[in-house]
Amino acid sequence: MINVLADENMVGLERLPRDRMHIQTIPGRRIATADLEGIDVLWVRSVTQVSKALVQDSQLSFVGTATAGFEHIDQEALKARGISFSAAPGANANSVVEYVLAALAELREPWECLERGEPLGVVGCGAVGSLLVTVAKSLGWVVKVYDPWRESREGAVEGENGQNGENVESWASLDDVLACRVITLHCSLHKEEPWPSHHLIGKAALACLNSSQWLINAARGPAIDNQALLEHLRGPDPVNCVLDVWEGEPDSDWTLLDSPTLKIATAHIAGYSWDAKWQATKMLYEQILARGLVDTPLGSTGGGAGELLPVQGRGCDFALALLQQRYTIRTDDELFRDLVRLPLPERAAGFDALRRGYRKRAELRGSQLPMSGGEIASENRRIAQAFGVSLV
Ligand X SMILES: NC(=O)c1ccc[n+]([C@@H]2O[C@H](COP(=O)([O-])OP(=O)(O)OC[C@H]3O[C@@H](n4cnc5c(N)ncnc54)[C@H](O)[C@@H]3O)[C@@H](O)[C@H]2O)c1
The only residue of 187, 205, 267, 322 in contact with ligand X, by rule CB under 6 A: 187
Within the chain, strands assigned E span 2-7, 21-26, 41-44, 62-65, 84-86, 120-123, 143-146, 182-185, 214-217, 240-243, 262-265, 368-369, 390-391
CA distance 232 to 237: 8
Binding residues for ligand X, how many (CB under 6 A)?
Answer: 34
Cis peptide before 89 (omega within 30 of 0): no
Q: Is 354 in the site for ligand X (CB under 6 A)?
A: no
Name the binder of 9 from ligand X, ligand DEZ, none, CB < 5-8 A by kind. Answer: ligand DEZ
Q: How far is the CB of 200 from ligand X (least distance, A)?
A: 5
Q: Is 250 in the site for ligand DEZ (CB under 6 A)?
A: no
Name the binder of 352 from ligand X, ligand DEZ, none, CB < 5-8 A by kind. Answer: none
Name the binder of 136 from ligand X, ligand DEZ, none, CB < 5-8 A by kind. Answer: none
Q: Are 349 and 263 in contact (CB under 8 A)?
A: no
Binding residues for ligand DEZ, how many (CB under 6 A)?
Answer: 11
Q: How far is the CB of 243 from ligand DEZ (least distance, A)?
A: 13
Q: Please, which of residues 60-89 interact with ligand DEZ by CB under 6 A?
A: 67-69
Q: Is 9 in the site for ligand DEZ (CB under 6 A)?
A: yes
DSSP 165: S
CA distance 142 to 55: 46
Q: How far is the CB of 223 from ligand DEZ (least distance, A)?
A: 12
Closest CA to 307 of 377, 362, 270: 362
DSSP 26: E
Q: Is 92 in the site for ligand DEZ (CB under 6 A)?
A: yes
Q: Which residues are catalytic?
A: 220, 249, 268
DSSP 244: S
Name the binder of 279 from ligand X, ligand DEZ, none, CB < 5-8 A by kind. Answer: none
Beta bridge partners of 43: 6, 64
Q: Are 316 and 111 in contact (CB under 8 A)?
A: yes
Binding segment toward ligand DEZ, per CB under 6 A, in 42-50, 104-112, 281-289, 378-386: 42-50
Q: Which is nearer to ligand DEZ, 271 or 350 (CB)?
A: 271
